[in-house]
Amino acid sequence: MLEDVRASISDWTVAEITDAGTRVGYVGVAVADDNGTLAGRIGDLRVDALHAGRPHEQAARDWAEGWCAERGAHRLDIRLNARSRRLGADVHRVGRGSKIHFITERTGLPRPPSPGSTVKPRSPSGQATESVKQRDVMDDRIDLAELLSRYADIADMKEFTHLPSRICTDPLTVDFEAVTGMPAVTASLRDCVELLRTTLAPFAATHHAITGHVVTIDGDSATIHAHVRAEHWLPVELVGDGPDRWLVVGFYDTEAVRTPKGWRISRFKLTVTHQENPQLASLAQAAEQARRPQA
């Protein structure tokens, strides 16, 4: 029986951790013989920083325990590899009793390095080299998708001080002609952030839901195509009994470059497919101009 199980085990299985259809990380699991007893192992586990403090890590561990038990493992060891330990800021422990929507198995991916080991290329086309490349591409795709989510935090959490430099290049190209009527402009990051801050200042709240990321990587350049639903609410003192929500639905087409500090967005473009109450944008602009002291 033990030999049959051993024969059916092929290196590691990497499972995507997803939340409402969005990938938020991954976990690598395997079952191996440990002195005559089958034991399960989590050799790699990553949850991206944006989803820190949520129940994803524990859900992944619970899933891994069940996956290994189904294959005859009597225990589960958690031995994160060196790369995972370096990503310690992105890995968070959460309490039991929580769950995520689903975890999808992806088999046949290269085996992660064992604890404490270093992956060295064996040849230009060797398996170790391909393992590093595929893992790096996975990390790049997660980081790139996260850039747009962090952009939403700038607007919705009014984080105009530290976050912009963590996701954008300086200078930055912005093309919001679809809503502003102004052609694309390249300006310093400081000026772009100040324009965003003053544009959003009159709104009581905003919410940008960015989904369906399609990431294309070409060396040190990348593009990210994503759906966006942006909602902006004006306070009642500005709208009275009228509608208070400006809705914009469309797409972000974003360009990014790899920098010494990681991926950064170099160009934003918004394509609008639908709007509701677009007149509220003009009302907000007038309110902001009236608020500023006259020269």
Provide the residue-wise pLDDT of the chain in tens; the chain has 295 residues: 333 333 333 466 777 777 766 777 777 788 877 777 788 887 777 777 776 666 777 777 778 888 788 888 877 776 554 333 333 323 222 223 333 333 333 333 333 333 333 333 334 444 445 555 666 788 899 999 999 999 999 999 999 999 999 999 999 999 999 999 999 999 999 999 999 999 999 999 999 999 999 999 999 999 999 999 999 999 999 999 999 999 999 999 999 999 999 999 999 999 999 999 999 999 999 999 988 766 5
- What is the reported pLDDT for 125? 43
Specify burial of residue 202 (Cβ count, 10 A radius: 0-12, 13-18, 19+).
buried
Query: Rounded distance, CA 23 to CA 14, Å?
Result: 13
> Of 245, 252, 257, which Cα lies nearest the Cα of 268?
252
Q: Are 43 and 28 in contact (CB under 8 A)?
A: yes
pTM score: 0.58
**Closest Cα to residue 53, out of 24, 23, 76, 28?**
24
CA contacts within 13 A on the Cβ side of 142: 20
CA 176/CA 183 separation, integer angstroms: 7
Strand ordering across the sheet containing 168-175: 185-187, 168-175, 262-276, 245-259, 221-233, 205-218
What's the chain's length in residues? 295
Alpha-carbon distance of 109 to 106, in angstroms, equals 7
pLDDT of residue 186: 97
Which amino acid is it at 157? M
The CA distance from 205 to 201, in Å, is 9
Structure tokens at 295: 């020269």
Is residue 246 within 8 Å of residue 215, measured between CB atoms? Answer: no
For residue 179, what pLDDT is reported?
Answer: 94
Q: Domains in the chain, please, with CATH?
A: 2-118 (3.40.630.30), 149-291 (3.10.450.50)
Q: Taking Cα atoms as reference points, which of 291, 277, 217 lies closest to residue 248? A: 277
257 strand-pairing partners: 221, 264
Q: What is the pLDDT of residue 100?
A: 31
Q: What is the pLDDT of residue 272?
A: 98
